[in-house]
Amino acid sequence: MTTITGLIGYPTSHSLSPRIHSYWIAQYAIAAEYKLFTTKPSRLRQTIGHMRSKNWRGVNVTIPHKQEVMNHVDQYDATAQRIGAINTIINDNGVLTGTNTDAYGFITNLREGLGDLTPYLKNVMLLGAGGATRAAIVALQDAGATSITLINRTEETAKALADKFNIAALPWEVRNEALSEATLLVNTTSLGMQGQDALDLTLDALPVTAAVHDIVYAPLETELLRKARARNHPTVDGVGMLLYQAQHAFSQWHGITPEVTPALRAHVLAEAMEAA
């Protein structure tokens, strides 16, 4: 019997997940498929019902369903609860469990890029206050970050999130000067992504030892990373977060932890560049 996995979202056509999962399914010769289940919000309940009755092994969940789907699974774990969103569902003989692998993806990518994170976790500046930011906060807190500050265009959103996670928030206007104490700077906004506005940020105040991470991966070298490299900061690009969140989902569905290799990175980036 073929193991069915896939992606529930609307739209789904832009997603790189099929390319990643199909690569591993072939590499490990698993009798499985990763399909696109394009689902409008009004049909979410029905699609989840199909998942249960047809015994699909698992799905990833993306925009716009990540929050709403929490109302449709049988249970979800503490990580999903803290992030406030589900990106992966595992079906164990009709019992649907939601989790969120984005925090794992975020921190595993960061560790791969920087090694021991201890020196970088002292004073983290996060740009943004969206869904990706929440996964980053959970990951950074679990990794032992001592101080996290959110800087977001809409200050109220940052404040609400900061209160929830017991961290700090600063207004967007002070973003340049606020970098003077940072040990790690992370862009979790969509700014700098192909087709989006540029990220207007000056790194002059950033200490030379601070690391810079951008979760944007199209382009792979964002303007932020280019500027950081020119100043010799350690940098981490965003494609690893995508690959490692997929790795964690794959291992929970198939019982194999698939390898994230340079060849896979290249395979995925080729499509990311094509789509951009």
How many residues touch ligand ATR under the rule CB under 6 A: the total is 14
Quick one: 201 or 225, whose CB is closer to ligand ATR?
201
- Closer to ligand ATR by Cβ: residue 4 or 158: 158
Q: Least separation, in Å, of the C-beta of 155 and ligand ATR?
A: 8
Closest CA to 225 of 268, 269, 192, 194: 192
35: annotated active-site residue: no
80 pairs with which residues across the strands? none
Which of the residues 119 through 178 are near ligand ATR (CB under 6 A)?
Answer: 128-133, 152-154, 157
Of the pair 182, 199, the CB lying nearest ligand ATR is at 199
Catalytically annotated residue among 35, 40, 66, 227: 66
Out of 173, 177, 197, 204, point to the residue binding ligand ATR (CB under 6 A): 197
- Element holding 134 (H helix, E strand): helix 131-142
d(CA 148, CA 141) in angstroms, rounded, equals 8
Residue 194 near ligand ATR by CB under 6 A? no
* Under rule CB under 6 A, residue 4 binds ligand ATR: no
Applying CB under 6 A, among 3, 62, 81, 190 the residue interacting with ligand ATR is: 190
Candidate ranges 9-17, 48-56, 189-197, 262-270; the one touching ligand ATR (CB under 6 A): 189-197
Q: Burial, 113: exposed, middle or buried (Cβ in 10 Å; 0-12, 13-18, 19+)?
A: middle
Residue nearest to ligand ATR (CB): 130
Tokens 């290249």 -> residue: 266
* Longest CA–CA separation in the chain, Å: 58
Using alpha carbons, select from 25, 16, 83, 22 the residue that is nearest to residue 220.
Answer: 16
Q: CB 63 → ligand ATR: shortest distance, Å?
A: 8
Task: Please state, in angstroms and as integers, the Cα–Cα distance from residue 233 to each residue in 119, 222, 229, 237, following that order.
Answer: 14, 14, 6, 13
What DSSP designation does 57 have? -
Single residue of 89, 136, 191, 236 touching ligand ATR by CB under 6 A: 191
The span from the CA of 22 to the CA of 19, in Å, is: 5
189 is a site residue for ligand ATR (CB under 6 A):
yes
Q: Which positions touch ligand ATR (CB under 6 A)? A: 128-133, 152-154, 157, 189-191, 197
Active site residues: 66
